[in-house]
Amino acid sequence: MSRFRVCIVDYEVGNLRSVHNAISRLGYDARVSDSADEVRRADALVLPGVGAFEPAMRQLSASGLIGPIEARLSRGTPLLGICVGMQLLATDSEENGLHRGLGWIPGHVRRLRPPSGLGVPHVGWNDVRVLLPGSPLFARTGDGTHFYFDHTYHFECGVEHAAATCDYGVTVTAAVQRERLMGVQFHPEKSQAAGLRLLRGFFVAAGAPGPGPC
């Protein structure tokens, strides 16, 4: 077991068990925690999320962890947001009213409005077009890899922060990146081997030892 320490931020919103299982399968010391001390000790942070934006943002604010996370980010600790965890990085969201996000990556979370014939939410596998070839998120998967999506809202941001997109009748931001702050709209923990390769790429870029089998 590697001593590389991953903190999966527990703010009572998220697919914690599946995320923990996926990261542990890669051999990392993954800990689900709502402790500021665990955040401060982490070599990498993961912000999962399932459900609506406003309750997720409210729970994260109530956890008291935003300050410790910001402190770690300022010291270069990488963070990966997953699904709603990625959306929280935005400036705001229009889901069930207008709600402020963390504002760490400029952009807005909007409802999906695909052409008729395509259902909302967007659920299922979709191939991803990589816009930022140097992103560690896709160092082990490349362009056109399939990942599993399940969402009704999506993150609209500038091209400088869009690391990947997918086509669902409209262009959907599939991944964002601002230096060592990253996020994916899809669920790597549900994306089988491709998801594990993506996670491995993120953690190796974060300084985890050894390339591993994925």
* 212 vs 119: CA distance, rounded Å: 38
Dump pLDDT digits (tens) for 197-214: 999 999 999 999 766 556
pLDDT tens column, 68-93: 999 999 999 999 999 999 999 999 99
Q: Is the pLDDT of residue 3 over 90?
A: no
CATH topology of domain 5-205: Rossmann fold (3.40.50)
Give the confidence band of 1 by pLDDT, cuts at 50, 70, 90. Answer: very low
Global pTM value: 0.95
Model pLDDT, residue 188: 97
Task: State the DSSP string of the chain.
Answer: ----EEEEE-SS-S-HHHHHHHHHHTT-EEEEE--HHHHHH-SEEEE---S-HHHHHHHHHHHT-HHHHHHHHHTT--EEEETHHHHTTSSEE-TTS-EE---SS-EEEEE--PPTTS-SSEEEEEE-EES-TT-GGGTTT-TT-EEEEEESEEEEE-TTTEEEEEESSSEEEEEEEETTEEEESS-GGGSHHHHHHHHHHHHHHTT-SS----
More confident residue, 210 or 96: 96
Cβ-based neighbour number of residue 102 at 10 Å: 20
Q: Mind telling me the catalytic residues?
A: 83, 187, 189
Torsion sign over Cα 160, 154, 36, 65: positive
Whether 2 shows a pLDDT value over 90: the answer reads: no
For the chain, give the mean pLDDT: 94
**pLDDT score of 213:** 59
What is the spatial distance between Cα 91 and Cα 109, in angstroms, rounded to a whole number? 8
179-197 mean pLDDT: 97
Label the pairing between strands 153-157 and 107-111. antiparallel
- Which residue bears the tokens 């909007």? 110
Q: What is the pLDDT of residue 14?
A: 78
Domain boundaries, the chain: 5-205
Look at residue 49 in the predicted model and tell me its pLDDT: 85
Reported as a pLDDT band with limits 50, 70 and 90, residue 142 is confident
Res 209: pLDDT: 79
Dist. CA 41–CA 80, nearest whole Å: 16
